[in-house]
Structure 1
Amino acid sequence: MKYYYVYILKCRDHSYYTGVTNNIERRVEEHQSGEDKNAYTYNKRPVKLVFCEDFTEINQAIAFEKQIKGWTRKKKEAIIENNWMKLKELAVCKNQSSANNFNK
């Protein structure tokens, strides 16, 4: 069975990079070695793999990668810490204009 991996790297400047690949070891090494001078991680090496989730369907992996890329730093750190409950809490809208707060 073929697997696809959604991963998060922590860069030297403490920023996060999220990607998807079918070979996690090779891909992390490519980031680490700086093969692509135009890559986000090129000037932020060394990088460290801090999260990796596997999928059997490429479309699911791509959708999850896109979802993570839209998240706040706090949400990314929640899954890095394997704290899925915190992720749920962070997903709740707390804006005054939220429908949940409308009649309060």
Structure 2
Amino acid sequence: MSSYSQSGTWSVYIIRCADSTLYTGISTNVTRRFEEHTSSSPRSAKYLRGRTPLELIYAKEIGTQSEATIEERRIKALTKAQKLNLVAELS
């Protein structure tokens, strides 16, 4: 995926792991955050360690941190099939 949200705008993103699980997060710079996750840096989410390779499959600019957190919670409450439908809708 291309570069997302390099301004102060918050985005929500979904990463597909090698074991086909999905990880949802928020960031002001999705590209940087994805690189942190793939490099297994100390800033990487513990959940993603050992689940490489990772694939960024969804990213959407939301606005404020509060709005992004609300959207992240909404997405995390979806089933895996619903999350994949959300990804397909964006494509």
TM class by shorter-chain length? 0.7 to 0.9
Partner of 2:26: 20
Higher Cα radius of gyration: 1
C-alpha deviations, 1:14-57, integer Å up to 9, x for none?
Answer: 10000000111110001100113761001101100000010221
Q: Give 5+ residue unaligned stretches, structure 2.
A: 1-6
State TM-score, norm by structure 2.
Answer: 0.84
Q: Could you tell me how far apart the structure 1 residues matched to 2:45 and 2:27 are?
A: 18
Q: Could you tell me how far apart the structure 2 residues matched to 1:38 and 1:7 are?
A: 13
Which runs of at least 4 in structure 1 moved beyond 4 Å after TM superposition? none
What is the aligned counterpart of 2:16 among 10, 19, 24? 10
2:59 maps to a residue whose letter is C
State TM-score, norm by structure 1.
Answer: 0.74
Q: Is 1:30 paired with 2:60?
A: no
Partner of 1:64: 71
Q: Which has the higher contact order (CA 8 A, sep 6+)?
A: 2
Count, aligned residues: 83
What is the aligned counterpart of 2:81 among 56, 74, 77? 74
Q: Could you tell me how far apart the structure 1 residues matched to 2:62 and 2:75 are?
A: 15
1:41 maps to a residue whose letter is L
